[in-house]
Structure formats: C-alpha cells, structure tokens
Amino acid sequence: MPKVGMVSLGCPKNLVDSEVMLGQLAARGWELVSGPEDADVLIVNTCSFIEPAKQESIDTILEMAGHKKTGRAQRLVVAGCLVERYREEILKEIPEVDFVIGTNELDRVLEACELGENSDGESNGAGSRARTSSHPFDPYLYTEFTPRVLSTPSYFAYLKIAEGCDHPCSFCVIPQMRGKFRSRRFESVVREAQNLAGQGVRELVLVGQDTTSYGADLGLRDGLALLLEELARIPELVWVRFLYCYPNRLTDRLIQAVASSPKIARYFDIPLQHASREVLKGMRRGSDGAQFLKMIAKIRAAIPDVTLRTTMIVGFPGETDHDFGSLCDFVEQGEFDHLGVFTYSNEESSAAFDLPGAVPKGVAERRRRKILSLQRRISRRKLRSRAGQRVPVLVEGRAEETDLLFTGRLESQAPEIYGRVLINDFEGP
C-alpha cells in the first residue's frame, strides 16, 4: 500500500485536523510512516497565526520538498492555515507543491494524496494545482464517525468541540482562516469522548478557538458547563480540561461546574492579551485590568486551589510606557501560575495592520523580557510554596534524560504546554 507522512505544525486544534486527515487515509489502506524519507506522499499541515509561524511553515514545506528529489516522495500536499491566507502564492512560488487543502477542505485529503493519473490524463501534479487554485470557503466540522488517528500518547487526546471564531480582535486573522464560529453537536462530542475513553484515553483536553462560546450557536445556555458535566460522567476518564477561554464568556455557571466535579481539572486558560484599557480598546477586546482582577478573585474564591494561565501581547501599536506599566502592575497583582508573552506581529490582513504608533521591535522585546522576569519570580514563589505537599500525579513514563527518573504532570500542568514533574522513587503499598 502507498505510504504517507505528515508534519503537523501549530496549535492542538491544528493537530486534531492532522489526525482527522490521517484517519481518512488510514481507513482507505494508506500506511502511515514517521520518517519523510519513507513516504510516497508528504503532507505539511501549516500554521500562519503570526510571522514566526508562517516562516516555520514555509521552511518545513521547502524541507519536505527536498524529499521529492532525494527520497521516494512523489507528491507534496500543503494543508492548513497558510493555505487559507496564501493559496495562490504557494502554488505559484513553490512548484514542488502538488495540492493545497484549506482548513475547511479536510475531506479532500484522499483526492490530494492520489497517486497516478487524474481523469484528464495528466499527472496529479499540474492538474490538481489548477483545480485547487480557488476553492469556496465552506464550513467543515468533523463528527464522531469521522476516522481519526491519534498522534498523542495513548492516555490523553485533544477533542475539538468547535471551529471558527466570531470575535473581532484587531490583531487576529483566525476568523479569515477558520470562518465563523460553529459548535459540534453536543451528542457528537459526548460520543467521541466515550469512544476515546474506551480506547484507553484518561485525559481529555477540549479545544476550539473560543471554547467558552460552545453551544451558543445551537441555542445552548452555558453549553461548555453542560458539556463538561456530561463528560465528567464517563467512568474511564480521570481529567477533563478545556483551553482558550474568552474572558467575557466566563460565567458563574462554568466556574461552578469546575468547582463541583473532581474530574474537571481546576485549570483555567484565559488569554487576556493586555491590561491597559486603551490597548485593549485598540485590540477590540474591551475591559481592563481592574475587571480582570475581579474575575480572577471570583474564580479563586470558588476554587481556592485553581491554576490560572494566560498570555499577553506587548508592542501593540500605540502601547505607551504608561500602558506597559499598567500591564506590569497587573501581572504582579494577578499572580498567574503560568503566563506566556508574545511580541506583537503585524499581520497584513488584520484590522490592526495600518494602526499608527508602531512600537520598535527592540522596545517590544525588552518589554517581553520584563514581563517574563516578573513572572519568573511569581512562578518561583508559587512552586516553592508547594514543597512538602502530597498531590496526585499522572505518570507518563520514563524521563528522556535518564531511565533513573520518571516524568509526569500535575493537574495544574496541561499536556505539552507548561512544566512536568520528575519522579525519582515510588513508595510501596
């Protein structure tokens, strides 16, 4: 049977798309290989959220293109977000690419990977390139019946509950790549979760561009809270967590759902982006640090041992020293358990692209380092305060560094994101 290799870049949401494409190929008899030198067809599932992600995608495409000259690869397929933004440019500038698949064309992967001749008698290179140079943006959602091959360790899986986004954030191009927000059917998500649990999955991580809006388009009130409570009833699951909360959609009902079930991880991932009212206004997100602190206090009052994670953007157009000072004050007062910082990436199709008041890259980078320095002190203090505690740990296996240690995660540590636990001994019964 023909062999296919996949390189999946970007976020967990993109990884689920990769798993869905691989599932469709495996169901039709394709052999999945890990080494690009062994593949007849190579697929690169790309990310293009910010400039570094775009560059990584382009570099990977060119690297995989080399295998058409040096390896057995006959065909190179490019999929994902980069295609939605630069479909024509990819086909024009990288002639080694034989087929492109947008984020809403995952069901075309079999067509994209087909070897041999097409119906026009042409090789599937030039013929497919012509047919895929333009494609309508049709909404796509996979279901519990869609074949999927997990690429994560057997004990955890990502579960995409929605696609697209309706928020107007001026720095973000995701709605252009993923389309309008749309939820998967409640029953479909639950059935897939049950299927995954039956396969041995013990931790589910719910993902979507905005998980807190889940079900709103289906007429569900507090849809995410209802979904979490239903998933917590699946006996085989140990942890259920969700990522990508939008702050103004975080309801009391959702907080209560997390507080009341031992299976729902006491973990909130809330990308706030900034704390200055003026910067947030420019980002089209609204609110400010004072409101965020009230939200944080409410969560911690209901769940004292909660873990809070957020991300920030520095260097947004018009960000003044005063704005940055407000952000520093907020970070110190918020005392997040995990915090990531990005320098602003000026994306040409975003609403913020032509905003005045560009912040020099050097200034933005210094601000990024300053926030990280503040957070390191907070994280160090929080971690030291846990010394001597007895806590549940999900043991994942032996550490890469040495067979003398095992590695695992706390409930406060989402997979593949922040930190791990090193274990040097196990107590007997």
Segment 379-397, tens digit of pLDDT: 999 999 999 999 999 999 9
What spatial distance separates the first Cα and last Cα of the chain, rounded to whole Å? 49
**Encoding tokens for residue 72?**
């057995």
**For strand 156-160 and strand 99-101, is the pairing parallel, antiparallel, or unpaired?**
unpaired
Q: Could you read off the pLDDT of 211-229 as tens digits, one per residue?
A: 999 999 999 999 999 999 9
Indicate the pLDDT class of residue 116, thresholds 50, 70 and 90. Answer: low
Average pLDDT, stretch 315-328? Answer: 98
Please name which of 386, 323, 320, 324 lies closest in space to residue 359, comparing C-alpha atoms. 320
pLDDT band at 411 (very low <50, low <70, confident <90, very high): very high
Residue type at 146 in one-letter notation: T
Which is it for strands 203-207 and 156-160: parallel, antiparallel or unpaired? parallel
Q: Which of the pair, 427 or 265, is modelled with greater confidence? A: 265
Q: What's the pTM?
A: 0.92
Instruction: Provide mean pLDDT across the span 221-241.
Output: 97
Which tokens in the block code for residue 180? 């309008």
Task: Give the span between the Cα atoms of 284 and 316, in whole angstroms.
Answer: 12
Question: In 141-249, which ranges are continuous DSSP H helix?
Answer: 174-178, 186-198, 223-231
* pLDDT of amino acid 135: 47
Please give the mean pLDDT across all residues of the chain.
92
* pLDDT bracket for residue 429 (50, 70, 90): low
Q: Quick one: pLDDT at residue 132? A: 46
Residue 134 has pLDDT above 90, yes or no: no
Q: Do 227 and 189 touch, CB atoms closer than 8 A?
A: yes
Q: What is the pLDDT of residue 115?
A: 84
The answer for 287, left when phi > 0, alpha when psi is -120 to 50, beta otherwise, is: left
Percent of the chain having pLDDT more than 90?
A: 88
pLDDT at residue number 118: 40
Q: What is the pLDDT of residues 261-297, one digit of tens each?
A: 999 999 999 999 999 999 999 999 989 999 999 999 9
